[in-house]
Structures are given as structure tokens and as C-alpha cells.
């Protein structure tokens, strides 16, 4: 249980960073994000993504455009806002620090 919790915490911590990184590549549709996250084994089900996207959007990090779709309802394509880009830069920096910290911490073990 404790192990599970820690894993979830770790994943949760980087999930938003990953989502922002994926969206930073260009206009992205939710299922594209899902596909990438699944490939990275960060997320299993799609349903959990929508609340996250909505929250990031409400925090002003994301905006979206409606795009007509041939196979169903119009799709929301997400892009980073200016603020989102700034936040992502900060997160990049933090991530580098984290990588360094973790590598230093576990480096002797190997």
C-alpha cells in the first residue's frame, strides 16, 4: 500500500509536467495526449485526463480551439498559453534539478 502510494505520488507529480510538455509540441487533441501518456505508462484510463486538462485550462496554462471532426463531435485542440510556457520553463528547470538530485542520491548505490 505504501509502495503504491509513493508510486502514485511520483507519477502524479510529473503528470502535469508531462502533459504540458506534450502540448508544448503544438496543437494537441486529448486522445493524442492519452496515446503518448499510455506509451510512457503514466496514465491508464482516459477519464482521468479530462479533469486535469480542465484544471490546467482554468489555471490559465492552456487554451483550446474547436476543430471540426469527420468522425464525431468537434474536438478540442489544446495549446499552451503564454503563462503556460513560462510555467513549463520553470518546471523544466525544476526537473533538471530533480534529475540531478535523484542521480546524486542513488548514484553511489549502483
**Residues within the interface to another protein (CB under 8 A):** 5, 8-9, 12, 30-31, 43-48, 50-51, 53-55, 58, 69, 71-76
Closest distance between another protein and the C-beta of residue 12, in Å? 5
Q: How many CA atoms lie within 13 A of 91 on its CB side?
A: 17
Closest distance between another protein and the C-beta of residue 45, in Å? 2
How many residues would you count in the chain? 110
Cα distances from 28 to residues 34, 54, 72, 78, 96, in angstroms, run 10, 14, 17, 5, 25
Looking at the Cβ atoms of 73 and 107, the one nearer to another protein is 73
Looking at the Cβ atoms of 76 and 85, the one nearer to another protein is 76
d(CA 23, CA 92): 14
d(CA 89, CA 96): 11
Looking at the Cβ atoms of 3 and 45, the one nearer to another protein is 45
Closest distance between another protein and the C-beta of residue 56, in Å? 11
Amino acid at each position: 500500500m505504501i509502495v503504491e502510494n509513493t508510486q502514485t505520488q511520483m507519477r502524479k507529480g510529473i503528470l502535469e509536467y508531462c502533459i504540458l510538455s506534450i502540448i508544448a509540441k503544438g496543437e494537441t487533441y486529448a486522445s493524442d495526449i492519452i496515446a503518448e501518456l499510455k506509451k510512457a505508462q503514466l496514465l491508464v484510463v482516459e477519464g482521468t485526463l479530462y479533469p486535469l486538462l480542465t484544471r490546467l485550462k482554468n489555471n490559465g496554462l492552456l487554451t483550446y480551439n474547436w476543430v471540426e471532426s469527420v468522425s464525431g463531435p468537434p474536438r478540442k485542440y489544446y495549446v499552451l498559453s503564454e503563462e503556460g510556457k513560462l510555467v513549463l520553463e520553470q518546471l523544466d528547470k525544476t526537473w533538471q534539478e530533480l534529475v540531478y538530485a535523484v542521480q546524486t542520491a542513488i548514484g553511489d548505490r549502483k
